[in-house]
């Protein structure tokens, strides 16, 4: 009896499956219910291709959303790049960097326009915990998690990845101030930066020679402001394009070589070199604490040494803001001992 019921139900089941299959083919074809299986496979293939495109667009849109969220009204963003090494320790470098914005003059609101670019998951999670504007930069086949010693192969690779990423930001139409995380922002630097359209690039110097237009200044790519236009995009394309012909050289060295070969003039760039009295560093201290905007822990080899001496700079800064002391004593920066010893240890 049971076998007979199964036999009777089999044609109904087959008809039902056939009807479902025809309906499925009809929905995929969108036009002809009698479309071939080949057409159906083609539709599925197109669907997978569209999905891959959407994933790529989603990845790109994450950067666009991050830039838009941090952007000022004139499409200018402050950008710094960190890895796990900058977020670990009793006093992480990232925390010291943010201390500068907290303690500086007219700088707290600038964190609204600061984009932290994390090159590993640990740094990204730390950034998100701090409720800042964060972007996770994916680096193909590279591990930039730990500290990269100055001028090591991994350090050089990381600098080139940075250059590639920042070129992409320019191509998206955003101006930016790039700042290393070992730069303390003690005053709002924008009043000291030319905001007119005639200046394409304003870049810090290790030592300032007294002429803001002289290409004999020794540039430092740890702090600069750049406009997005065809000239600056061409510069970054040419700059990044030199990476495979520059073995053993960091990206800053290559930019200096391009400048010496008169690439700035060839591309029609107007470049201003920043005075260390306002944009200072450990290579050359600012002569006037009353006007200094930034202090960069340059001429230093390790994160530990940078952290030690930047904490001292913060103490110097607090001391300079003490009214009685400010009136009776001339300010002197402390000697950057940890950074000096970092070259021989």
Among residues 62, 95, 112, which one ends one of the domains? 62
Q: Which two tokens stand for residue 131?
A: 């409720």
Note whether 177 and 167 are within 8 A (CB). no
Give the orientation angle of helix 230-241 with respect to helix 153-171, to 10 degrees. Answer: 160
Residues 45 and 147 in one domain: no
**Rounded to an integer, what distance in angstroms lies between the CA atom of residue 92 and that of residue 118?**
14
Residue 262 lies in a domain: yes
Residues 164 and 87 in one domain: yes
Residue 24 lies in a domain: no
Residue 211 lies in a domain: yes
Residues 111 and 256 in one domain: yes
Q: Region of 248 please: left (phi>0), alpha (psi -120 to 50) or beta.
A: left
**Rounded to an integer, what distance in angstroms lies between the CA atom of residue 142 and that of residue 136?**
14
Residues 127 and 226 in one domain: yes
**pLDDT at site 195:** 78
Residues 125 and 182 in one domain: yes
Residue 86 lies in a domain: yes
Q: Which two tokens stand for residue 311?
A: 């904490």
Residue 25 lies in a domain: no
Residues 170 and 50 in one domain: no
Residues 82 and 178 in one domain: yes
Residue 1 lies in a domain: no
**pLDDT at site 34:** 44
Which CATH number covers residue 307?
A: 3.90.550.10
Q: Which two tokens stand for residue 49?
A: 């291709």
- Which domain covers residue 46, as residue numbers? 38-62
Residues 124 and 238 in one domain: yes
**pLDDT at site 61:** 85
Residues 153 and 85 in one domain: yes
Note whether 231 and 267 are within 8 A (CB). yes
Task: With CA atoms as reference, report the closest residue to 204 among 277, 109, 257, 312.
Answer: 277
Residues 169 and 235 in one domain: yes
Among residues 62, 94, 110, which one ends one of the domains? 62
The number of folded domains in the chain is 2
Tell me the CA distances in angstroms from 278 to 188, 215, 236, 295, 335, one per residue in order.
Answer: 11, 19, 26, 9, 19
- pTM score, whole prediction: 0.79
Residue 131 lies in a domain: yes
**pLDDT at site 244:** 80
Residues 118 and 165 in one domain: yes
pLDDT along the chain (345 residues), means of 10: 48 59 52 46 47 48 95 97 90 96 98 95 94 89 46 66 92 97 98 88 97 96 97 95 77 91 96 98 96 97 94 95 67 94 85
Residues 237 and 122 in one domain: yes
Tell me the CA distances in angstroms from 151 to 5, 159, 236, 247, one per residue in order.
Answer: 81, 10, 21, 11
Residue 259 lies in a domain: yes
């Amino acid at each position: 009896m049971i076998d007979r019921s199964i036999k009777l139900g089999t044609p109904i089941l087959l008809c039902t499956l056939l009807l479902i299959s025809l309906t499925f083919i009809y929905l995929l074809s969108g036009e002809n219910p009698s479309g071939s299986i080949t057409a159906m496979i083609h539709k599925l293939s197109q669907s997978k291709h569209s999905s891959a495109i959407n994933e790529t667009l989603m990845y790109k849109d994450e950067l666009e959303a991050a830039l838009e969220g941090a952007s000022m009204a004139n499409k200018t963003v402050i950008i710094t790049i960190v890895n796990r090494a900058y977020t670990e320790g009793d006093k992480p470098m990232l925390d010291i960097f943010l201390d500068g914005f907290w303690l500086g003059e007219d700088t707290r609101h600038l964190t609204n326009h600061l984009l932290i670019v994390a090159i590993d998951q640990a740094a990204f999670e730390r950034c998100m915990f701090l409720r800042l504007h964060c972007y996770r930069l994916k680096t193909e086949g590279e591990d930039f998690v730990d500290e990269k010693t100055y001028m090591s192969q991994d350090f050089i690779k990381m600098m080139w990845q940075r250059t590639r990423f920042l070129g992409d930001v320019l191509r998206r139409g955003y101006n930016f101030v790039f700042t290393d995380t070992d730069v303390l922002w003690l005053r709002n630097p924008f009043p000291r930066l030319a905001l007119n359209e005639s200046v394409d690039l304003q870049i810090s110097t290790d030592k300032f020679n007294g002429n803001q237009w002289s290409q004999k200044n020794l540039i430092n790519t740890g702090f600069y402001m750049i406009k997005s236009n065809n000239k600056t995009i061409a510069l970054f394309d040419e700059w990044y394009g030199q990476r495979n012909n520059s073995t053993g050289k960091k990206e800053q060295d290559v930019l200096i070589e391009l400048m010496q070969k008169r690439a700035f003039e060839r591309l029609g760039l107007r470049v201003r070199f920043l005075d260390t009295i306002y944009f200072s560093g450990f290579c050359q201290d600012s002569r006037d604490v009353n006007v200094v905007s930034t202090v960069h822990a340059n001429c230093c080899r390790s994160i530990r040494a940078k952290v030690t001496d930047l904490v001292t700079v913060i103490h110097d800064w607090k001391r300079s803001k003490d009214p009685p002391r400010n009136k009776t004593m001339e300010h002197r920066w402390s000697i950057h001992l940890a950074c000096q010893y970092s070259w021989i240890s």
